[in-house]
Structure 1
Amino acid sequence: MSEEQKRVLEKQLWAIADLLRGKISPDDYRDYILGFIFFKYLSEKQVLYANELLQGETVTDYKLVTDQETLNAIEEESLLKLGYFLKPSELFSVIASKGNSNNENESNYIIEDLQTVMNHIEQSTMGTESEEDFNALFEDLDLNSTKIGRTVGARNSIIVQILNYLNEIDFKLNEIESDVLGDAYEYLIGKFAAGAGKSAGEFYTPQQVSKILAKIVTTGKTKIKSVYDPTCGSGSLLLRVAREADVSEFYGQELTRTTYNLARMNMILHDVHYREFDIRHEDTLESPQHLDKRFEAIVANPPFSAHWKGDANPLYNTDERFSQYGKLAPKTKADYAFVLHMLYHLADNGTMACVLPHGVLFRGATEGHIRQYLIKEMNWLDAVIGLPANIFYGTSIPTCILVFKKCRKKDEDVLFIDASGEDHFKKEGNQNILRKEDIKNIVSTYRNRESKDKYSYAANLAELAQNDYNLNITRYVDTFVTDDEIDLNALSKDLEHLNSLLQQNSKIIIDFCKELNISTPF
């Protein structure tokens, strides 16, 4: 599928939001739009797979199958292959058609049918390998919520409107090599994030930043055994890594229930098989879910300077993720708690790249102690990349990317990149945007470990020690622009010439005033 066709689909899907503006608030209709798109995807996927199984049979169109024995066989195979099962009567197109019925003898009320179908999708997975991946997946789609209509009729009308519009869109799932729907879904998530204000950071990392992180952790690799994001949001970072290398397994953890559901939907919509991803819903710092795992690639955009229990809970002092460093991250700033958690999970041959607020580079006290330990004792810090301010949705603070590797050479330099200057981004509305050339410059500079005038510098460990392990980028990358030298003699001659012209003009004005018999302005 061409880029043009992809953009058409993105516009078609985003147009649903236009249909609902003024009727439902954006925070409310986001979950319904994304949820119904997912339901349509599951339905079409079911039809395609069932039709494959029906090749050579008397009835080859799944929508027309009524024989229970055949349905049982398709269900068994579908649960193994797809991880779920939908009956012909439960397909998206069937529900949408009922809602669009103009038959006076047939009601177009579909809320109960739709709720039954979504419940059955989850129930069909019970006792199977995919149960955890589909459990409560549609819980955010409250079809009886007054947020989408005060009366039952109003709610039904809105839902019918969304389903009818979606039913007219061809997802083209039979184009095997096309990941167009997954791309369009990502596009919608990004569009909703752009309008969500402060809450956007909870579920979405801008693609420009995702690309940088993904390209860094896959440097020199075409295959990655496993990738992990401890604060995975909608899963966009994990999926971005798969665009740069062949990923075998995806792992993530997410605190917010709605976002956790969105991440699982996003994985399935990108055709990641349920056996290939493991996304958990828990607090990463308090209830880590993958402690026995080590990952070849780790990417993350943790909540900036979040509160955590820290030293308020003595158990953290003996927690194997934090105990070797001697001190804990402050309870009002969990940034280094997330860093140490990720480093615990990083494989010896792995690379970790995470986005953090600039304060992690220079704040002292316990954070300074941890920072020094990571550099001096462990030699795990590989690069520091400064990003422009106002690049993330919901916050204008400047941020940085920290890159860690456990397989660094003893005296290997730490690379500093300052990509925050005005020449390295574009202003677009209220946001600053990294262009393709800006991303390429960051990534190539990192991969080649280049020192570029006023942009990057490879600092040896002795220099970091001399700066008391303060990582403020301006200590290493000199971005000061000197003014051109001024020739004072030439300037003096210019002033003398201007003064001569001024006197000549004054004399001319005085002569005119005398001719006109008026007073002079001098």
Structure 2
Amino acid sequence: MTLDITYTTKTKQLIDNLKSVCANYGLGNDGNEFKIISQVFLYKFLNDKFHYEVKKQQQKLGKDADPELLMDLLDENVPQLRKDQLISHLHNIQNSDDFAKTFDDTLRDIGTQNAGIFSIKSYLGAKDKLFDELSQFISDASQRDAFCKALINKLFEFSFEESFEDYFEEKYDFFKDIFEYLIKDYNSDSGGKYAEYYTPNAVARIIANILVPEPVKQAKCYDPSVGSGSLLMSLAHKIGEDKCTIYSEDISQKSSTMLRLNLILNNLTHSIPNVIKTNTIAQPYYLDKQKFDYIVSNPPFKLDFSDFRDDLEKDSFKERFFAGIPNVPKAKKESMAIYLLFIQHIMHSLNDNGKAAIVVPTGFITAQSGIEKKIRERLIDKGWLRGVVSMPSNIFASTGTNVSVIFIDKKADGEHIVLMDASKLGETVKEGKNQRTVLTREEEARIVETFNNKKAIEDLSVIVTKKQIKEKNYSFSAGQYFEVKIEYIDITADEFQEKMKGFEERLSSLFVEGNRLDNEIQKQLKGVRYERD
């Protein structure tokens, strides 16, 4: 079993254990269950990360090194825990009086002393709490001690059997699957308002490898609808965690919690202060503060934003939303195409050398009018379109919408734009009630290599110019540029006569059958009689 599969399996086991505790105390699928599991999960990782970093220092200085010296030598981005805040200590004192209060106080103190590293800011600058008082989610006060004991016992058992310390040196591109597993019970099939959807690992890797074909010294990377951060994680691994700074915005508190975990696990703790919980469209935190080298995004496609839509009509927004703002439909407000606002926001947020990759519904690349076409016109007229990859159907397990990825580059080559139709690639697999298309690593590599080397391959990719795209009414669909080929077969005169004879015989038989049907219809019509009740 590979390391990533082992890690995923063990993590799902821990999540299931915590879910079991919640269910036993009446919180199964309760609105607070997610907070409890995610925060206990975070405590587990802070505990293991601290152990891991201390052991590294002990290997350098010796096991008998002064504890205060060890703490002083820890990197500033490493969580700081006292001995009495460790899982092992709480396990040893679990039978003490008021254990629930001790448990809550411990987590609160860890959050306070590490707030500068791990807290997430809101749009107005307020920092969130790292931990809630988890015992308070149990309404029966007499059950709180037992509940907290059950949680700490699950963590202690897991620490004894398998620590995550061995995995802190790994690349966590696969961690997206764990997030999806953790909150799948909290999203309805339709997603709900600001629902989280997950970018498949294959798509995230393809985007990173196309955006960064060559080494980068330093980069500012941004996602305005970040979710759990799978796109940013892949991009950071490609660039190098020590060579990039992550910036993000998202309206979802759940996503912010998951992203914080992801940054800790991916050696990107230095970027946690740049994680902003806000409504990116209505209250963008970075709009006037920062421009970015790389932007990646899988924005929500459709969402009801009618409650703040009119505010976007103000002059202060017009430069950003140059192509317009979707109107509020009379019915189905949830169908408002909010992704069009995210595309315009991203274009506005790139620096002079910026590059971006945006997941969009495939319908966007061929729409004949409206905001969609205005955006495509701007990309071509400015010379910013590097190319488009249309992905296979059902590559997202949570939605059947066909998607494409638009690659923007402020320094793009307008004479060699890559349009690719990868819809025929991949293998269909079943995941629960859903079907999903999975790309092999070989297919991923083929897409990246074809795109980056600007290759024209029959039925897969074409290389076009800005002029050709304008002539096709600004269509970004590869299929509209594929050459139509007619195969010719040499035949003899006798073979030609034989084929013509067959056509004539077939046509004659059809005429006979047609006459028969005409006569039958006339016969039936003559038999129709008018009868009055």
Q: Determine if the alignment matches structure 1 residue 91 to structure 2 residue 86.
A: yes
- Which residue among 264, 268, 271 is the counterpart of 1:272? 268
Work out the CA distance in 2 between the residues paired with 1:147 and 1:14: 27
- 2:410 corresponds to: 406
Q: In the TM superposition, what are the counterparts of 1:434-513 in structure 2 within 5 Å?
A: 434-477=439-482
Structure 1: which amino acid aligns with 2:429? Answer: K
Work out the CA distance in 2 between the residues paired with 1:260 and 1:385: 29
Q: Which secondary structure does the structure 2 equivalent of 1:298 belong to? A: strand
Work out the CA distance in 2 between the residues paired with 1:334 and 1:460: 29
Q: Which secondary structure does the structure 2 equivalent of 1:293 belong to? A: coil
Given the superposition, is the C-alpha separation of residues 369 and 161 from structure 1 closer, same or farther in structure 2, using an over 3 Å criterion? same
Q: In the TM superposition, what are the counterparts of 1:364-443 in structure 2 within 5 Å?
A: 364-409=368-413, 411-421=414-424, 423-429=425-431, 430=434, 431-443=436-448
Q: Determine if the alignment matches structure 1 residue 179 to structure 2 residue 170.
A: yes
- 1:286 corresponds to: 282
Q: Which secondary structure does the structure 1 equivalent of 2:154 belong to? A: helix
- 1:192 corresponds to: 182
Work out the CA distance in 2 between the residues paired with 1:132 and 1:337: 25
Unpaired segments of 5 or more residues in structure 2?
Answer: 329-335, 503-533
Structure 2: which amino acid aligns with 1:319? Answer: F
- Which residue among 232, 251, 255 is the counterpart of 2:251? 255
Q: Which moved more, 1:429-438 or 1:4-13?
A: 4-13
Q: Determine if the alignment matches structure 1 residue 116 to structure 2 residue 111.
A: no
- 1:65 corresponds to: none
Work out the CA distance in 2 between the residues paired with 1:453 and 1:148: 67
Deviation at 1:143, TM superposition (A): 3.5
Work out the CA distance in 1 between the residues paired with 2:97 and 2:180: 33
Work out the CA distance in 1 between the residues paired with 2:33 and 2:490: 60
Work out the CA distance in 1 between the residues paired with 2:139 and 2:488: 59
Work out the CA distance in 1 between the residues paired with 2:488 and 2:45: 60
Q: Identity of aligned pairs, percent?
A: 18
Describe the superposition over 1:198-218 as per-residue Cα deviations: whole angstroms up to 9, x where unpaired: 449615322111111111211
- 2:136 corresponds to: 144
Given the superposition, is the C-alpha separation of residues 403 and 147 from structure 1 closer, same or farther in structure 2, using an over 3 Å criterion? farther
The answer as to whether partners of 1:198 and 1:393 remain within 8 angstroms in 2 is: no
Q: Which moved more, 1:203-212 or 1:279-288?
A: 203-212
- 1:299 corresponds to: 296
Structure 2: which amino acid aligns with 1:219? Answer: P
Work out the CA distance in 2 between the residues paired with 1:25 and 1:175: 30
Describe the superposition over 1:450-469 as per-residue Cα deviations: whole angstroms up to 9, x where unpaired: 12111111222232222222
- 1:503 corresponds to: none
Deviation at 1:385, TM superposition (A): 1.2
Q: Which secondary structure does the structure 2 equivalent of 1:348 belong to? A: strand
Work out the CA distance in 2 between the residues paired with 1:237 and 1:108: 46
Given the superposition, is the C-alpha separation of residues 427 and 330 from structure 1 closer, same or farther in structure 2, using an over 3 Å criterion? farther
Deviation at 1:6, TM superposition (A): 4.1
The answer as to whether partners of 2:211 and 2:355 remain within 8 angstroms in 1 is: yes
Describe the superposition over 1:23-68 as per-residue Cα deviations: whole angstroms up to 9, x where unpaired: 5339865554443232122223334445667776996485xxxxxx
- Which residue among 213, 221, 244 is the counterpart of 1:219? 213
Given the superposition, is the C-alpha separation of residues 368 and 6 from structure 1 closer, same or farther in structure 2, using an over 3 Å criterion? closer
- 2:9 corresponds to: 11
- 1:498 corresponds to: none
Describe the superposition over 1:424-466 as per-residue Cα deviations: whole angstroms up to 9, x where unpaired: 3433332222221221222112111112111111222232222
Unpaired segments of 5 or more residues in structure 1?
Answer: 63-69, 100-105, 494-522
Q: Which secondary structure does the structure 2 equivalent of 1:253 belong to? A: strand
Describe the superposition over 1:478-519 as per-residue Cα deviations: whole angstroms up to 9, x where unpaired: 6999999999959999xxxxxxxxxxxxxxxxxxxxxxxxxx
Q: Output the TM-score relative to the length of structure 2.
A: 0.75
Deviation at 1:311, TM superposition (A): 5.9
- 2:233 corresponds to: 239
Q: Which secondary structure does the structure 1 equivalent of 2:259 belong to? A: helix
Given the superposition, is the C-alpha separation of residues 285 and 42 from structure 1 closer, same or farther in structure 2, using an over 3 Å criterion? same
The answer as to whether partners of 2:362 and 2:404 remain within 8 angstroms in 1 is: yes
The answer as to whether partners of 1:205 and 1:392 remain within 8 angstroms in 2 is: yes
Describe the superposition over 1:211-260 as per-residue Cα deviations: whole angstroms up to 9, x where unpaired: 11111211233444121111111122111112212232111111101211
Q: Which moved more, 1:381-390 or 1:83-92?
A: 83-92
Work out the CA distance in 2 between the residues paired with 1:342 and 1:46: 37
Given the superposition, is the C-alpha separation of residues 451 and 61 from structure 1 closer, same or farther in structure 2, using an over 3 Å criterion? same
Structure 1: which amino acid aligns with 2:456? Answer: S
Given the superposition, is the C-alpha separation of residues 364 and 315 from structure 1 closer, same or farther in structure 2, using an over 3 Å criterion? same
Structure 2: which amino acid aligns with 1:232? Answer: V
Deviation at 1:148, TM superposition (A): 12
Describe the superposition over 1:67-107 as per-residue Cα deviations: whole angstroms up to 9, x where unpaired: xxx4xx776766x71364321101122223444xxxxxx34
Work out the CA distance in 2 between the residues paired with 1:372 and 1:9: 42
Given the superposition, is the C-alpha separation of residues 146 and 435 from structure 1 closer, same or farther in structure 2, using an over 3 Å criterion? farther
- Which residue among 69, 73, 76 is the counterpart of 1:81? 76
Q: In the TM superposition, what are the counterparts of 1:30-109 in structure 2 within 5 Å?
A: 31-50=35-54, 60=65, 62=67, 70=68, 81-82=76-77, 84-99=79-94, 106-107=95-96
Describe the superposition over 1:259-279 as per-residue Cα deviations: whole angstroms up to 9, x where unpaired: 112111210122213257611
Deviation at 1:405, TM superposition (A): 0.8
- Equivalenced residue count is 470
Given the superposition, is the C-alpha separation of residues 448 and 89 from structure 1 closer, same or farther in structure 2, using an over 3 Å criterion? same
Describe the superposition over 1:338-387 as per-residue Cα deviations: whole angstroms up to 9, x where unpaired: 11111122122232101011232233443145234323421212212111
Given the superposition, is the C-alpha separation of residues 394 and 57 from structure 1 closer, same or farther in structure 2, using an over 3 Å criterion? closer
- 1:67 corresponds to: none
Structure 1: which amino acid aligns with 2:81? Answer: L
Given the superposition, is the C-alpha separation of residues 58 and 339 from structure 1 closer, same or farther in structure 2, using an over 3 Å criterion? closer
Q: Which moved more, 1:260-269 or 1:483-492?
A: 483-492
Q: Which secondary structure does the structure 2 equivalent of 1:143 belong to? A: helix
Q: Which secondary structure does the structure 2 equivalent of 1:205 belong to? A: coil
- 1:352 corresponds to: 356
Work out the CA distance in 1 between the residues paired with 2:300 and 2:142: 36
Deviation at 1:402, TM superposition (A): 0.7
Q: Which secondary structure does the structure 1 equivalent of 2:2 belong to? A: helix
Work out the CA distance in 1 between the residues paired with 2:182 and 2:114: 30
- 2:338 corresponds to: 334
Structure 2: which amino acid aligns with 1:334? Answer: I
The answer as to whether partners of 1:227 and 1:296 remain within 8 angstroms in 2 is: yes
Given the superposition, is the C-alpha separation of residues 316 and 164 from structure 1 closer, same or farther in structure 2, using an over 3 Å criterion? same
- Which residue among 320, 330, 343 is the counterpart of 2:347? 343
